[in-house]
Structure 1
Amino acid sequence: MTGRLRAPTGRYGGKTAAERQADRRRRFLDAALRLFGGTPGYRATTVAALSESAGLSTRQFYEEFRTLEDLLAALHLQVNDWAEEAVLAAVAAAEGLPLTERVTAIFRAYAANVTSDPRRIRITFVEIVGVSPTLEEQRLARRARWIDLICAEATAAAERGEAAPRDYSLAATAFIGSVNGLLHDWTAGWVSATLEEVVDELVRQLLGILRPAEWSPGAPGEG
């Protein structure tokens, strides 16, 4: 997202204008993760407090972002990008593994990434909710990407004869709700279990969706 003021050009202190701008943006995002994802939270943070935490000025803030909501939107996308990169790497590494091992590896990668910093969970599942129609649209769009990924994995498993062939859109949507809710509750300390136990439970749920009791394995693409 672009700000309203034009950033200076030229080289200063050994850095180009683009490098300085990227550094400022990173510092604002780091400060937002601290304040939005921790204390006091997005709704109680001011531009002045955010800028002070970043070690920058409010003028520099408005060179990068129009509003705190724009910064929250950028941070939400960043947190999701981190998790998506971890998952896609796990998908590639698990190529050719049996379904149970593949699903387990993918969900371990996702859970490890999103729970590595509790502030990421708060940004994704708490702070962004109900802020504005624009952010709600963004939140649902990113969730749809996770649903599409699960559907793609499920369809590929069905084509290999490892899962029941069906339209997984509704089931994947319901499953994502379980993933988000359980990981949020675990991070908040409301679930008495290890992260490995949480992942194992999610894997069991997904395998139950992919392999219902009435289905029996067959040739690839067959029910």
Structure 2
Amino acid sequence: MAGRITPAAGRYGGRPAAERQAERRTRFLEAGLDLFGAGPGYRATRITDVCRAAGLSSRQFYEEFHTLEDLLAELHLYVNDVAQQAVLGVLPQVRHLEPIERCSRLFRAYAAGATADPRHTRIAFVEIIGVSPRLDRQRLDRRARWIAFLCEQLDDAADRGEIPARDFRVTAAAFIGAINGLMHDWAVGWVDATLDQIVDELLLMLLGRLQVPGEAGPA
């Protein structure tokens, strides 16, 4: 069934239609988070599986989403927003720090936000890959935002004279690409390491590019 059914308006059982609709949408999102993020995964899940897990009907599903891909798309944005909020939450606390410590704190906040719920990690770094051109564009758009954010932090440090000024776009793109690749391999079990080891390795890559040539790295 394609398309979207217009939900009924008015009140039912004393509850406004908008409130009932928001609750249904949340139940579908929670079901998708479990099925896509914990198993069996997006490609092995059907709309009937989501409806069963949510305790709702397929008609109600189509009131909220056109396709199963729409559900995955919304969850991908949601898990990215969780990680983004984790970073923005510590940003005011680290603005005064020197760049190596600032970048370390920001990235550790990101890693904590992206991996606190293993379902988020799976959706952000595994399930979204190769689904469709549309989701590839969405994924790359979010990657571009992270690249821009990192460039802003490095440009700010350069403006303060804390690191040499240069074009940081390649460094930022390489670092964000490394995050996505390594986190994917870690999430699917191809890399046998703890999260702390993954975070430390990625930070070494980034912080090494912030050193002035000939200057010793962080202890």
* TM-score (norm. length: structure 2): 0.90
For 2:185, the aligned partner's letter is: D
Between 54-63 and 99-108, report the one with greater CA deviation: 99-108
Aligned to 2:175: 175
Aligned to 1:137: 137
Which secondary structure state, in structure 1, belongs to the residue aligned with residue 12 of structure 2? Answer: coil
How far off its partner does 1:167 sit?
Answer: 1.0
CA distance in 1 between counterparts of 2:172 and 2:109 reads 18
Say whether residues 1:84 and 2:75 are aligned partners. no
How far off its partner does 1:194 sit?
Answer: 3.6
CA distance in 1 between counterparts of 2:170 and 2:22 reads 40
CA distance in 1 between counterparts of 2:168 and 2:46 reads 43
How far off its partner does 1:215 sit?
Answer: 7.6
CA distance in 2 between counterparts of 1:212 and 1:95 reads 21
How far off its partner does 1:182 sit?
Answer: 2.5
Q: What are the Cα deviations for residues 85-144 of structure 1, in whole angstroms up to 9, with x where unaligned?
A: 111112122121222221121111111111112221221122111111111111100110
Aligned to 2:18: 18
Between 205-214 and 56-65, report the one with greater CA deviation: 205-214
Structure 2 CA distance for partners of 1:46 and 1:191, relative to 1, 3 Å? closer
Structure 2 CA distance for partners of 1:13 and 1:214, relative to 1, 3 Å? farther
For 2:155, the aligned partner's letter is: T
Aligned to 2:94: 94
Alignment identity in percent? 57
Which secondary structure state, in structure 1, belongs to the residue aligned with residue 163 of structure 2? Answer: coil
Between 10-19 and 62-71, report the one with greater CA deviation: 10-19
Between 171-180 and 64-73, report the one with greater CA deviation: 171-180
Residues 147 and 169 in structure 2, CA contact (< 8 A), matched pair in contact too: yes
CA distance in 2 between counterparts of 1:46 and 1:24 reads 18
- Correspondence list, 1:29-178, <5 A: 29-178=29-178
Give the unaligned 5+ runs of structure 1: 217-223
CA distance in 2 between counterparts of 1:214 and 1:12 reads 71
How far off its partner does 1:11 sit?
Answer: 3.0
Between 88-97 and 55-64, report the one with greater CA deviation: 88-97
How far off its partner does 1:214 sit?
Answer: 5.6
How far off its partner does 1:192 sit?
Answer: 4.5
Which secondary structure state, in structure 2, belongs to the residue aligned with residue 48 of structure 1? Answer: helix
Structure 2 CA distance for partners of 1:92 and 1:13, relative to 1, 3 Å? farther
* Matched pairs, number: 214
Give the unaligned 5+ runs of structure 2: none
